[in-house]
Amino acid sequence: MSALTVGHDPEQSWDGLVRFWEEMEWPEGSKVEIIEGIVTVSPAPAYRHNIIAERIQRRLYSVIPDAYHRGTHSAPPLLRHPR
């Protein structure tokens, strides 16, 4: 399933977009964003997606130095670290 864009008035102000975003009742678990002045609704990820993401996270944690787990270093989300 792909993202859904919600029609809007091009003359609508930022405050109007935010008010619309806050006042609507969006589907449970969906991600609602304002992207380039357009309200975009993405469905919640499927169960299989979450399982795959968890497996990747576990593998990454097994190879990332402990200092990164403790938050003493900042690192990009994916890091290639020389041995």
Tens place of pLDDT per residue across the chain (83 aa): 566 566 656 677 888 888 888 888 888 888 888 888 788 888 888 889 889 989 998 888 888 776 565 555 555 556 555 65
Contact 76, 60 (CB under 8 A): no
User: How open is the CA angle 15-36-5, to the nearest 5 degrees?
Assistant: 90
Among 48, 30, 50, CA closest to 40 = 30
Q: 44 is written with which tokens?
A: 């919640």
Q: Are 38 and 6 in contact (CB under 8 A)?
A: yes
> pTM score, two decimals?
0.45
